[in-house]
A and B are shown apart, each in its own frame.
Chain A
Amino acid sequence: MSVTTASVSTATVGHALKQARTTIGLTLKQVGKSMGIAMSTISEIESGNRRVSAVELYRFAKLYQYPISFFLEESETSASFAILLRAAKTTSVSKETIINFHELCRSYRDLRKLVGAPEMPSPSDYSTSRPTTLGHAEELAEAERGSLGLNGQPIKDICDLLEGKRGIKIFHLPEDPEGFSGAFTYDEQLGACFLINSHHPKRRRTFTVAHEYAHCIAHRNQLALIDACPAFEIRNPRERFANAFAAAFLMPRRSVNEVLGQLVFPQKSTLTAETLIHLAIYFGVSFEAIGWRLVSLRRLSLSRWEDLLSQQVPSSPTARLLGYCREEEPEEEPPDTIPRQYKYLAYKAYEMKLISFEKLAELLRRNYFELKEELKRGSQEGDV
């Protein structure tokens, strides 16, 4: 395969250039000034009426900070990511993060193809039946848990579960913890993809993944959504639905009642802070998430919950004694940007001599020398 100016359609290049320019929010005038090209020329290039030279393309790629290959591939533009990028303008999530996320999702798809991995099943799509009520959310969560074979057990690792059984691509990237929780996109070519804020603590991220999963199966027709730190008491019906689904998915009614039955004696006595802490640890969710879940299940009165909320329970010595680490505590390991299966596929591609070591490092978003050092250390220690 050899690329020449003649072998790539001017429309493909033009469309990709326009998408990249609008994505990073530059005007034709700004680009023209920066590259020393007339605005009309850029406009002609973007509309596919003028062939772009390699030298020009290289300069565009540098200015837009996109890999040059992005502009040369057919069908690389994605409606769902374009929606995400537009939505990013009204939230605190950066365009660079969305572009990076898009790049990772494309790499994931390419890796599957490269190593010949089988197609993953797609998550169900209930968006046409328009589930809206909190009752629907509860039913849907129950049904999804059933089809995932969870049987009331707490979910050990929601990312592994949804990646392995639903083929969802879940990446963690750092963003402003105050302004962004997660995002979902659905794309014919890339499938379902979630972006989760790695600056959030694990329990929070778990809830966000379940929340995005609700969007993915119930609001798929929206193609892309950004969640800017929704509170549990959020008013937006779509977000309320996603929160209710996430709560029911992570803390199924029957399991909550069963565990409560083992913890609360005598029966019907008032729930204590310690009980909530124990439940939060058991289900792998935050103190807030279990509290609101118990309120919605009518196992905890709102006034009692507000009372517990005001007591700063998660930071108490008792909570620590019971094994509940405060979310802000630094001992929690930050999550990997890259999901487990993606890593496996990348390593497999390297092992099969389909990609070079440098490409492996790039795909894993790792420094070449550091990765080499790490693998050498592993092999010296008897690792394979």
Chain B
Amino acid sequence: MSPLKKPVVLDNDVISRLYSAGALRRALEIWPKGSFHITERVIKEARQWPTQGQKLVTLLKKLETEGILVFISIDESSEEEIWAYATLQLKKNLGRGESASIAIACHRGFDIATDDSVAADTCKAMNPSVSIFGTGALLNMAVQDGLITQHEVNDIQFKIRRAGEA
């Protein structure tokens, strides 16, 4: 059984960290399908990344096709979700992608994976029941549940550090 109790919305920086270590697929495919969601904003931002955007978008789309990732966006018919998004945007401390991720997590009962302390604190303040994981915590949970070996996680974390993402 997955140690994740709810679906998790992945933020830009978790994607960036894992991708730069060449471990995005490996870190996500070990979990049950549908565990991870990303907002359209992440894909849009990836698409506009001049050097590696094409490659990253291709990978994200592939992961979506395989059911490993789910693409989501703000529910345009949900008053609560839109107001949560507007509230976060009014704070002016988060980007549009993060605001969308948090608004969605808060109103759909999802959790969040982010390494950005400002995003994590803002999410905590908005809805304390949303669990927030960093990349390291996600990998460690996978080890504890026997989805991946400690050795492999050490290797991923070494690659993350080597890529300058620690």
Contact = CB atoms under 8 A, between A and B. Distances in A.
A53 B48 CA distance: 32
B93 A57 contact: no
Contacts of B116: 356-358
A45 to B, nearest CB: 16
Given A68-B86, A72-B90, A353-B117, A367 B97 contact: no
A356 B79 contact: no
Interface stretch (B12-20, B135-143, B147-155): B12-20
A67 to B, nearest CB: 6
A361 B165 contact: no
Interface string B33-61: 00000000000011011111100100000
Contact of B76 (A2, A55, A361): A55
B107 to A, nearest CB: 12
Nearest to B90: A69
A356 B74 contact: no
A21 B22 CA distance: 46
**Residue among A55, A57, A72 with max Cβ neighbours from chain B (10 Å):** A55
Contacts of A358: 11-13, 94-98, 116, 119
B76 A58 contact: yes
A355 B94 CA distance: 6
Contacts of B91: 1
Contacts of A5: 79, 83
**Residue among A114, A362, A379 with max Cβ neighbours from chain B (10 Å):** A362
A55 B49 contact: no
**Residue among A59, A69, A356 with max Cβ neighbours from chain B (10 Å):** A356
A356 B89 contact: no
Q: Majority SS of interface residues in chain B?
A: helix
**Residue among B74, B83, B116 with max Cβ neighbours from chain A (10 Å):** B83
A370 B90 contact: no
B82 interface: yes
Given A54-B83, A362-B96, A379-B164, A73 B16 contact: no
Contact of B118 (A2, A58, A355, A373): A355
Nearest to A380: B164
A374 to B, nearest CB: 10
A110 interface: yes
Contacts of B76: 55, 58-59
A54 B75 CA distance: 11
A376 B83 contact: no
A379 B162 CA distance: 11
**Residue among B52, B79, B85 with max Cβ neighbours from chain A (10 Å):** B79
Given A5-B79, A368-B49, A376-B20, 14 more contacts: A55-B79, A68-B86, A69-B89, A355-B118, A356-B98, A358-B119, A362-B96, A367-B48, A367-B50, A368-B16, A373-B49, A373-B51, A376-B164, A379-B164
28 contacts: A1-B87, A5-B79, A53-B79, A59-B76, A67-B89, A68-B82, A68-B86, A69-B86, A69-B89, A69-B90, A72-B90, A355-B93, A356-B93, A356-B94, A357-B13, A357-B116, A358-B11, A358-B13, A358-B96, A367-B45, A368-B45, A369-B16, A370-B50, A370-B51, A372-B16, A376-B164, A379-B164, A380-B164
Closest 8 CB pairs of A and B: A358-B95, A376-B164, A54-B82, A369-B49, A69-B89, A356-B118, A54-B79, A3-B87
